[in-house]
Amino acid sequence: MIYAIICSRTTKPSKTLPKLLNYLIESGIKYHVSYDANSMFEGYQAGLDILSPGMEDIVIMCHDDIEILSDRTLFKKILEENLSNKNVGFIGPAGTTYLGSNAIWWDINRRTTGLHSGFVFQGDNYNTMTPNYFGSCRNVVVLDGLFLAARKETLDQISLKKPKEFPTNWDFYDLYYTLSAYEKGFTNKTVPIVILHNSNGYMRNTWEENRIAFCKMFRLPVGCK
């Protein structure tokens, strides 16, 4: 089975959330929305506890400000086929084959060298959305957190709880999860899931605090072929 955990920082739903939930319902995917979570880590762990998936079930973890535009049948097929392989850790729409010493996966200087992977639409609606193409789908070391999917078995091996080293609650959970899986021998992959991300890419001050902590926790740079 496929489950989905959507994490929201407030009790007020994102304007894209109703469409996202309708998509999940029509796809036969059971979901939980963690409203007003204290952190992404806490929200995802709470959702996992409530949904209680089996070890071989697929768990989606995503933002509340996205719309999934893929055909529903194809979407589920992509998840099931890629995650049927127990060697695969996380899959998602965007990531990189090389994470530099600054731990900024979308680093524009490396993007021009062809090290990034995946594709996401960004914008407020269908009229304003802009294609953001990073590169062809392939194996990556880390994935962006707007949408992640993994087997429950994988999540149990890395733990979703916030590491004590992170001083703040909201940032670098995605790189922490996916690089932890990579270091345990899992293969992370970008896959052709089409998503509209209703975000302007605003960076909080707390992002920098967790970035510094993350750089101390992992041996960087790291890359894959």
Provide the number of structural domains found in the chain. 1
Count, in order, helices (H) and strands (E) of the chain.
7, 15
Gap between the Cα atoms of 103 and 214, Å rounded: 8
- CATH number, domain containing residue 82: 3.90.550.10
pLDDT digits (tens, 9 = 90+) for 184-196: 999 999 999 999 9
pLDDT in tens, 147-175: 999 999 999 999 899 999 999 888 899 99
Q: Is the pLDDT of residue 36 over 60?
A: yes
Comparing 87-96, 125-134, 187-196, 208-217, the range with the smallest average pLDDT is 125-134
Residue 47 has pLDDT above 90, yes or no: yes
Range of the domain at 16: 2-223
Q: Which of 29-33, 91-95, 159-163, 190-194 has the lowest mean pLDDT?
A: 159-163
Q: What is the mean pLDDT of residues 48-63?
A: 96
SS (H, E, C) 78-133: HHHHHHCCCCEEEEECEEECEECCCCCCCCHHHHCCCCEEEEEEECCCCCCCEEEE
Backbone φ, ψ for residue 170 (5° rounding): -110, -15
Are 145 and 173 in contact, with CB atoms under 8 Å apart?
yes
Residues 6+ apart with CB under 8 A from 19: 67
Residue 73 to residues 28, 79, 93, 107, 158: CA-CA distances in angstroms? Answer: 10, 10, 17, 34, 29
The tokens describing 144, both together, are 């962006």
Across residues 62-71, what is the average pLDDT? 95
pLDDT grade, residue 50 (50/70/90)? very high
Using pLDDT thresholds of 50, 70 and 90, give the confidence band for residue 200: low
